[in-house]
Every structure is written in structure tokens, then in C-alpha cells.
Chains A and B, each alone.
Chain A
Amino acid sequence: MSPSNRTAQPSALRRIWHKWRFHLNALLLLIPLGFMPKYFADAALFRGDVGLGEHEVGEIQVGPWSLRLAELRNEAPRLSGPAGYMKDFNAALCDACVEQVKATYLRIGKPRSLRAAGVIFFGTPYRMGAQLPVAEKTKADAELWITMEGWDGSMHQASIPLSQASPATLAWLNQQGAKP
């Protein structure tokens, strides 16, 4: 056997690769299909095809105005880096108040002032979003406060129990146990 013949012998790994590489390519094309149902469900959720969110809280009257509130995901708050646990809410203003409301805020617990009214909803008034920080020490009987500020300078507030707004958050808080 000449030296050139010896070098031409492919290794076992190389033989396996050459035999199966096309099958592997087909498999790589098939794998994404498994993720398609979740992808389309998420796309429908973010586009609004399945409503405001996974858990619709309902219509909430805030002074002369009202808004539809929903949890984007019907799940416990997610840890968002060093800022702590966050919960996404979506809201849609009533048709009559779209032109009148300047800003809408969300907060756990009654706000001390308009300046400290909580996180602000951003986006179109027909589908606004807010990321609400949820402290681990939040009490189970806490209330979610909605503050709406009008272009005329007026301010109106309403509250609903957190247990009604997000049962998943309440379950998560109960699971965490009361923290000091």
C-alpha cells in the first residue's frame, strides 16, 4: 500500500457524516415545525387577534371614563433582571375617552400623588401596554390602582383587588410566602 492510499482512507466519523448529512439537513428543516404552534399563538396574542391578553379582567370604570384591562399572559410575574419581578398588562380606553385621556397609570397600592401614580401605559389607546413591578413582599389583599389623567388636567382613580386582576400573581405571592 502506497502512502497516498493510506491518506485517502476516510475516518469513521467522516464516513458517518457523509452518509447522514442530507438526513440531518432534512431534520433541521423539520425541527422548526415543532415550534410553529407556539409561534402562531404568540403572533396572534401580540397582534390582538385573540383579544387584549390571555386573561381579560373586564371593563373598569374610572370616574367618567373606563378602560378594558387584561393580563398579557395568564402567568406569574417574570423576573426582569435587576429591576425585579414584572407583570405585563394591556388596556384599551373606551371609545368616548380616547380623545380625552392624556395618560393612564397602574400601581399596586394607592398612589400618594399623580407623580407617583405608578407605571405608565404606552402605545395606541386601543391597545396600550404597561409593565408593572410586583414586589415579592406584596400582600395578598393588595389592590391594583388605575389612575387616569385627562388633557383638561382632571384626574380619576379606581381600584380592583389584585386577586381579580391577576389570579396567577396572587397564587405566586401565596407560593412565595409573606416576606418582610
Chain B
Amino acid sequence: MNRVQRPSRLRLRAASLMLCAGFSAGALAHNPMCECKAVDAEQIKCTGGFSDGSGAPGVTLDVIGYDETILLPGKLGADSTVTFKKPAAEFYVLFDAGPGHVVEIDQADIEAP
């Protein structure tokens, strides 16, 4: 009787070990991420988030001129995106999730439609 039970218990332990190893969450940092694309000739859409897959609704995303004036202050919407009209002056986009948690995107790095 015992002989029959032992392997099954062993198999159960091996399976639980594999499950524990498979579902263990690694210690992952969550770095801020932002991507901007030109929707058309006039509009630019930026999407923010974090590298752990979480979104960034309500996080500040400002469009700033090269002279450091804030051209378009904004916040990401519920879908973690914001769309704005391309400014006439030279600019960069600053996704600002707090001090040291920023992503800068220069106008030259924004993909054309």
C-alpha cells in the first residue's frame, strides 16, 4: 500500500515545486516609459506607462519649448494617453512621474505618421 503512495506523493511534491518556481515573481523594477507618435501632420499622441506593464493615468506630460517655457501642460487620460496639437516652436515632451522618474522625448525622435 505504502509503495503505491510514495511515488504519487513524490510526484505531488515535484509538481508543487515546479508550480512554485513557475509562478514566483521576480523582483522587477518599474521604469517610466513614454512613446510619442504623430497621428497626422498636426496631432501627436503620447502614451505613458511603466515597464511592469502598469499604465500612468493622471501622470503629468508637458510639452516644453527649447527655451524651457511650458507650451502645453497636460496629464495623461484614463487610457494613459494624451493627444495634442504640434506646437509651432521647437519642443520636447516630458513625461514626469516624479523627481528622477522622467522620460524626455525630443521632437526629432517623434515618429512621423
Contact = CB atoms under 8 A, between A and B. Distances in A.
Interface string B81-99: 0000000000010101001
Contact of B102 (A81, A83, A116): A116
A83 B33 contact: yes
Interface residues of B, number: 17
A112 B104 contact: yes
A119 B100 contact: yes
Contacts of A116: 94, 102, 104
A117 B94 CA distance: 11
Looking at B32, B64, B94, B99, the one whose CB has the most chain A CB atoms below 10 A away is B99
A148 to B, nearest CB: 13
Report whether over half of chain A's contact residues are helix, strand or loop; otherwise say mixed: mixed
B17 to A, nearest CB: 12
Interface residues of A, number: 20
B7 to A, nearest CB: 9
B5 to A, nearest CB: 15
A25 interface: no
A103 B51 CA distance: 23
Interface string A99-116: 000010100000011011
B31 A105 contact: no
Interface of A: 80-83, 86, 103, 105, 112-113, 115-122, 130-131, 133
A117 B100 CA distance: 7
Contacts of B68: 112-113
Given A86-B31, A131-B31, A81 B51 contact: yes
Contacts of A119: 100-101
B29 interface: yes
Contacts of A133: 31
